[in-house]
Amino acid sequence: MRRILLALSMLLLADAGFAPLNPPEWIKALHPQLAVLSVAAGDPDGLPDQAVLDELAGITLLRTDQNGWIKVSTDGAGMMVQVERK
């Protein structure tokens, strides 16, 4: 049986962008409008993985190491996004 997934409004990436937990086919199938990545600046493990970033090309990406805090809210019809730094 084949499942068809609908595009998401927002995807919170797993484990600071660790590739095995964010496989490219998963990101491609979900095709989010916005991806949020919680990762420390200068992550000691070198995260996020470049393969994950490559797969997110063309998708709006907000990162805590670059944007600071990120707040996403919705009223059921639209999505509002606020960040600490642009």
- Burial class of 56 by CB neighbour count within 10 A (0 to 12, 13 to 18, 19+): buried
Look at residue 1 and tell me whether its pLDDT is greater than 60: no
pLDDT above 70: residue 85 = yes
Q: Tell me, what's the pLDDT at 18?
A: 98
CA dihedral 6, 53, 37, 45 (to 10 degrees): 140
Q: Are strands 70-74 and 79-83 parallel, antiparallel or unpaired?
A: antiparallel
pLDDT tens per residue across span 11-70 = 999 999 999 999 999 999 899 999 999 999 999 999 999 999 999 999 999 999 999 999
Rg (CA), the chain: 13
